Each structure stands twice: as C-alpha cells, then as structure tokens.
Amino acid sequence: MLPSVDDLLESARVVALPLRTRFRGITVREALLLTGPHGATEFSPFVEYDDSEAATWLAAAIDFGWGTTPPLLRDRIPVNATLPVVTPDRVPEILDRFAGCRTVKVKVADPGATLADDVARVAAVRAYLGPEGRIRLDANGAWTVDEAERAIHAMAEFDLEYVEQPCATVAELAEIRSRVHYMDVPIAADESVRKAADPLAVARAGAADLLVIKAQPLGGISAAARIVAEAGLPVVVSSALDTSVGLSMGAHLAAALPELQFDCGLGTAALLAEDVTDAPLLPHDGAIEVRRIDLSAQLLDRHAASADRRDWWLKRLRRCHSLLEG
C-alpha cells in the first residue's frame, strides 16, 4: 500500500552534493532521501522533469523502501566507468577513480563540443585502457541520423562496444541501426525506454540491440524487471547520477535479473565529491557490492540543502504523492 505523505515527510532529508566534474550541465546533485521499513531509499528526479515524470521516481523510492525486493542472484555487479565531457588530458585523472573498471562510457555530442573533440576524448580513453578495454558512447539523443552515422564512422576505429541513444526517436534509432549494421556497432536505447509512454516500443520496433534500464525512472525494481522480461533484449542497468542509496536500488535490480551480459552503469558514486554514507558504493576491482546503505547523520547535516531548496523538494514530493494516490 502507498504510505501516507506524512509518513514520507517524517524521514525526508534533502541534500545537495558537489560533483567532482561538471556532468549533465550541473556541478551539484540534489536528492531527497527517505527511510522506510526496509531502510534508506531515494527520490531524485532531475529538477527539470515535470511532476508526471517525477511521480514515477517517487513510486520507485517507495518500492525500494516499503516494498518487497525480488530474490537476488548475485552479490556483486560489474560496472563501467563514466567519463563526462572533458578534455583528453583529464581522462586519466577521472578514470583512475573507477578502480578496476575495464569498460568506459564516454559522453559525446555535447552542445559545446565538436566531433573532433569527441574523437580526441575517445582516443584518449582507448590509450588509457589499451586494446582489451571496452568503450561505449552515450549521445543522449543529440545527433540527427546523418550526424550519428558520421560520428560512429569516425569513432568505429576505437572498437566500440555499443552506442547509446545516438538519436532521439525510435524511428531514427531504427534507421541508424540499419545504416551502421555493416560496422557491427550495436545500438542501445536509454531515453527511448525511460522517458517513453511505452517503454517497450523501441524493442517491438527492432530499433535497438540492447536496452539501458534505470530503476528510478521506470518506477522501481519490480516494474523495471517486468520491462526487461517483456522486452527480450540484453540490458545494461544504469543510474541517473544517484547517491549511493539510488545506486543500491540499481544494484538490487541488476542482482535480480536472470541474465546480465554487460557491465552496468552503477559506478557513478565516483563522480560525486561527497555522498550520504560513510561506506559509499564505489567501484572496487571493477564492481560494486549489492547492499543496503546506512545513512550518515553527519553527512546529511553537512550537505543539507538550503531552506528554499528543501521546501521546493518537499512540495514536489507532496505533488507527486498526490499523483500516485490518483
């Protein structure tokens, strides 16, 4: 059953965590943390998301804190490193934080960068990893089909594991998948799953080779696992720049899936300069543990959001809770 909004507000803490490097255009990550019968849980939709989308994230937080976790099939999850849009000289500094990770997701197609910038960044990653490491690109749907084809062709020499959301729409993904088939570069769908009215449409259209699955945007572990089962495609469980609490939710999802062929995007605690726990879910030997997170009262106090930001988040929680009640 849905807990009352008063039950949620009783434990709600809002934090503002600094990032080590600008990511998605932000330098501070805000999140609202709750404590349910099963422990800490997280509600952290990005601030630009409207209430109807954010309500799904609240459903996920309630599911993790108050619901039942499926049986777990593994206790460690292999993870990739995530490289923001940085200059090539900063690549080693950032990737060194992802201890033991042999897969790197490289952010590309930034509005302020050129294709030459992306190529140089990917080349620096390949030099860092050597020939055995795996490189995947994430364009966040920013390219047109022609731009995507040109970019994939320019970076295919670096032996790409896959390209995530090169274009925005399902139809565009289907076209670029057809165009680059000869290069043997798989296409992954992220936004076309987590921001879609029908998260299975991209799979039905044959527009992707694999899906990127995120627990919070899809309504929680059980809802995301159902989508994975129905899609019938390989998946990568990823995060949305969560605190270690949100990453724990993602790790529990990954641990519950029957098959896990790819390293998961759950190592992003390494991008945070601070966290909400004394034992953050940082990568070790290329993996993170599957465990619940104990919140640190000291860190919650140290990184408490300002009064106006706290009020903004609490009002948002109330509105989203009303949508779930409806």
Which parts are annotated binding residues for Mg(2+)?
A: 138, 164, 190
- Catalytic residue, chosen from 105, 107, 195, 315, is 107
Catalytic residue at 214?
Answer: yes
Catalytic residue at 107?
Answer: yes
In this structure, the strands spanning 134-138 and 210-214 are unpaired
d(C-alpha 298, C-alpha 148), whole Å: 46
- Catalytic residue, chosen from 105, 195, 214, 315, is 214
Binding-site residues from annotation? 138, 164, 190
Residues marked as catalytic: 107, 214
